[in-house]
């Protein structure tokens, strides 16, 4: 079975930002409501900061978006981003070569 992989990793902040804009919610108000700084919220919504389990749960409480979905999006984003790191990919190839010999 072939799995589908997006051409571009999608950070959960994109989904959250769309929802915040759709609801016409001010970022300052949302940050205050969920108890995080405006800067942290803005960084998440603009894909400059990863979502943590705690912040995913805070967003779920405030916006009703499943924290599990948000965390799966973050994991997928992290994996796709890591796979584009040529230095890491070279290290992994070398490790696999060594492991194949054992």
Confidence class of residue 3 from pLDDT cuts 50, 70 and 90? low
pLDDT of residue 102: 72
When pLDDT is averaged across residues 73-94 and rounded to a whole number, the result is: 94
Q: Where are the chain's structural domains?
A: 12-101
Q: What DSSP designation does 11 have?
A: -
- CA angle (47, 49, 54) in 5-degree steps: 115
pLDDT of residue 90: 93
12-101 CATH: 1.10.260.40
Confidence class of residue 27 from pLDDT cuts 50, 70 and 90? very high
Cβ-based neighbour number of residue 21 at 10 Å: 11
List the single range of 33-37, 61-65, 85-89 with lowest mean pLDDT: 85-89
């Amino acid at each position: 079975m072939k799995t589908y992989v997006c051409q571009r990793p999608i950070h959960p902040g994109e989904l959250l930002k769309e929802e915040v804009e759709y609801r016409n919610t001010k970022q300052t108000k949302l940050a205050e409501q969920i108890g995080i700084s405006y800067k942290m919220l803005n960084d998440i919504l603009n894909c400059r900061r990863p979502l943590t389990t705690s912040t995913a749960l805070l967003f779920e409480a405030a916006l009703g978006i499943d924290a599990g979905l948000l965390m799966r999006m973050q994991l997928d984003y992290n994996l796709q981003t890591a796979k584009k790191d040529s230095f890491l990919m070279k290290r992994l190839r070398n490790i696999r070569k060594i492991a194949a010999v054992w």
